[in-house]
Structure 1
Amino acid sequence: MLVSVMTPESRPRKRGGTSAQTAARLLILMDVLGLPVEPDCDLPEAVRVVRSLTRLEKLDFWLRNPDYLADELMIELEAARLPLATVQPHVERMLAASAHGHHYPMIRYKFGAYEVVDNALAKLKAFGLIVHRRGADSGDRARHDYYLLRRGADVANDMRASVPELQWYEQQADAIGFLSEAMQGSAARRRQYEQPEYRDAVLGSEIPPVFGRVRDRAVSLGLIEEAA
């Protein structure tokens, strides 16, 4: 029952998709990229934590915008921080024709890419898969930490076995993990602002795709072949 509720649907397709699609993505994100909880955590069923909604939003941007993530991996390759054997398979996958079916644009707001995920998080919480706690305050905003519970990790594993389409998001999350800035929301936000199309998007508008530019870069690096 839980798995069927979380299964991504092909329609309607709008921005981040349905709340069930968003919930599925966020659950995979938390399972793959969440930090192990501390031994003294007062939530005995918690297994991983994502510290702050900002980090969750920035991770979701890379997850659902494969063109931007592919460009980040190539930046790491050119800086000799990642090897070719790591980068090339991910870049090939993210720039293949099928990648467009996994592209969900986000809106540019004051603090960067943003999408309301309250309904998706509420769905995960209602099924007993996550809990959130108020963490340390950050500036003028309260920080909320999101804990993946053991039940949530079990559901994520069930979904992997029963929904092959989720393998894409698993691979995306693995690729995000190669970026050191992914560990902190503020660092991820700064890095995303280094992309000119992201930075220059009008407030309230969709952040435009960069598949063309990124594909040209991949061709110049010999990672993919030029389209006929």
Structure 2
Amino acid sequence: MSASVAVRRASRWQDSVRLLLLIDAAAVSPAEGETVPASTVGVVHTQVRLQKLDFWVRNPDYLAYELMNEYEAAPDVPRLLALAAEILESEEPDLRRFPMLRYKYGAFEELDDALAPLVERGVLRKTQILGQERIVEHIYFLLERGREVARSILAEAPVLAWYVERTRMVVELVDGLGGTQLKDRQYLLRDYADTPWGKHIVPVTDQARARLLELQAASVLAVADIDDTEVS
């Protein structure tokens, strides 16, 4: 485990834009009978799920590790390994990393400041379901205006193309999984799980790059074995 983490902070504008794009990518149609604000086009349930998706956007080395997990489970999908290589063979793990703290339910960061401008501008609404002693669930409603803004970002700010592509990749990778399932998957990495509460989750770039080399070598050997079998 790395001894320290260089803590980079995104601006509130960066956080707001990233979360808008992530909510746009992750939002699903409201359930039948679900009460939603007027002009709602999509819903994201639970803060835990949103936090865990955001962690993979903000920590490309962990995302690459998850892509390699998926590749090992489905080696007939080489695109997964190629995507991991694209991340790890670049400077992305350092340039795009914005560390998150670890708390009881894993990676965490207060979202209110970043979401406030989206609510103020009428692109997002949010609510809470209260239990007897605590908040049971946070719900985020993407409004028509929010979808319009999210979909127009590329035309107005091409520099944000990476965030558009990455948020969609992350959501596609874990399509249908809830917040608890994502939390459990992220805890499988020891560096993540062993991070003390209240400390920033350490990077795993070196471990991920070493694993990538192993998988690439195994992939080459597998192709060679297939070729030998066909020849014989």
- What TM-score results when the alignment is normalised by the length of structure 2? 0.82
2:228 corresponds to: none
Match of 1:183, SS? Answer: coil
Question: How far apart in 2 are the matches of 1:134 and 1:126?
Answer: 17
Residue 116 (structure 1) shift: 1.2
Q: 1:83-136 CA deviation, whole Å, 9 max, x = no partner?
A: 112x13421332111442111111111221111111111111001010012347
Query: Map of 1:150-161 to 2, 5 A cutoff?
Result: 150-161=144-155
CA contact (8 A) 1:125 1:131 kept: yes
1:92 corresponds to: 85
1:23 aligns with 2:16: yes
Alignment counterpart, residue 171 of structure 1, candidates 165, 173, 179: 165
2:180 corresponds to: 186
**Which piece of structure 1 moves more, 57-66 or 172-181?**
172-181
Match of 1:48, SS? Answer: strand
Question: How far apart in 1 are the matches of 2:122 and 2:76?
Answer: 37
1:46 corresponds to: 40
Over 3 Å counting, the alpha-carbon distance change for 1:193 and 1:29 in structure 2 is same
Residue 139 (structure 1) shift: 9.0
Residue 16 (structure 1) shift: 4.4
Over 3 Å counting, the alpha-carbon distance change for 1:138 and 1:94 in structure 2 is farther
Residue 34 (structure 1) shift: 1.4
Match of 1:43, SS? Answer: coil
CA contact (8 A) 1:16 1:115 kept: no
Alignment counterpart, residue 211 of structure 1, candidates 185, 205, 215: 205
**2:12 aligned partner, one-letter code:** S
Over 3 Å counting, the alpha-carbon distance change for 1:158 and 1:197 in structure 2 is same
Give unmatched runs, 5+ long, in structure 2.
1-5, 218-232
2:225 corresponds to: none
Match of 1:116, SS? Answer: coil
Question: How far apart in 2 are the matches of 1:214 and 1:182?
Answer: 25
Aligned residues: 210
Question: How far apart in 2 are the matches of 1:45 and 1:74?
Answer: 39
Question: How far apart in 1 are the matches of 2:132 and 2:163?
Answer: 29
Question: How far apart in 1 are the matches of 2:167 and 2:212?
Answer: 20
**2:55 aligned partner, one-letter code:** F
CA contact (8 A) 2:26 2:171 kept: yes
Over 3 Å counting, the alpha-carbon distance change for 1:138 and 1:192 in structure 2 is farther
Question: How far apart in 1 are the matches of 2:76 and 2:92?
Answer: 25
**1:49 aligned partner, one-letter code:** V
Residue 14 (structure 1) shift: 5.7
CA contact (8 A) 2:71 2:81 kept: no
1:32 corresponds to: 25
1:63 corresponds to: 57
Question: How far apart in 2 are the matches of 1:57 and 1:89?
Answer: 26
Residue 65 (structure 1) shift: 0.5
**1:45 aligned partner, one-letter code:** S
Task: Mark the structure with the bigger radius of gyration.
Answer: 2
Give unmatched runs, 5+ long, in structure 1.
1-12, 224-228
2:222 corresponds to: none
